[in-house]
Amino acid sequence: MKRGQRSFQLYRRLARGRYKKFITTDEAWFYLDETGGRRKVCYIKKTDPDYDRMIIQQNTSRPKGFIVWGGVSSQGKTTLRFVAPGTKVNSNYYVNKVLKPFLTQDLPHLAPSHTAKETVSFLNKNKINYIKPEEWMPGSPDAAPTDYSMWEYLKQQLNKTYIDSLDEL
């Protein structure tokens, strides 16, 4: 199904105030080495005339970071849920640590842990309304408020102060 068709179907599903019964959730990586305003990122194409004048610095070590889960709806925001460093977010973790505590209406994102059989089975068994994989527009951050608004705001706030560890946060 084409993106335009999916977006129209999603619009119809959420029209007439039904969006008020939905919650959009997502998770995002936050990196501690990007705090305190110390890191500025610039993306430049190799074909750009100034490319050769740029100092390209690449760090091959994995930065200190963590995953945060959260959601928003017309009623407000969910409590943020921090995933312990080193935790693998699979369907079992997602059902037991995210869905059970937080979700009541909707699951609108297609990460593998969200669409795994165990996750879908949990949603169906508990009569939780969710947007099915064939209805969602993959790779569409413009359709997910968490991607274009919530995470960006939180990262900007985090960047204003120096934080060295998850415990400090």
pLDDT of 169 reads 65
Comparing 108 with 38, the larger pLDDT belongs to 38
Give the 3-state secondary structure percentages of the chain, helix then strand then coil, rounded to 5: 40, 15, 50
Q: Is the pTM of this model over 0.85?
A: no
d(CA 133, CA 119): 12
d(CA 95, CA 103): 10
Give the H/E segment covering residue 128: none
Helix, strand, or coil here: 39?
coil
What is the pLDDT confidence band of residue 1, given thresholds at 50, 70 and 90? Answer: low
pLDDT of 104 reads 44
Two structure tokens written together for 111 = 């990460």
Span 4-23, pLDDT tens digits: 777 788 788 878 887 777 77
Q: Which domains does the chain possess?
A: 3-37+65-159 (3.30.420.10)
Closest CA to 107 of 135, 75, 83, 79: 135
The CA-CA-CA angle for residues 101, 30, 28, to 5°, reads: 50
Cβ density class 41-66: b for 16+ within 10 Å, e for less:
eeeeeeeeeeeeeeeeeeeeeeebeb
pLDDT of 107 reads 41
Q: Is the pLDDT of residue 140 over 80?
A: no
Span 39-49, pLDDT tens digits: 555 666 778 88
Comparing 68 with 35, the larger pLDDT belongs to 68
Which pairs with CB-CB distance under 8 Å and at least 24 residues apart come from 126-129?
128/99, 128/103, 128/104, 129/21, 129/22, 129/105
Give the number of other CB atoms < 10 A from CB of residue 159.
Answer: 17
Contacts of 6 (CB under 8 A, 6+ apart): 135, 136, 137
The residues with which 66 forms a beta bridge, in sequence order, are 30
Span 67-122, pLDDT tens digits: 888 888 777 777 788 888 788 888 888 888 877 777 543 344 434 555 577 777 88
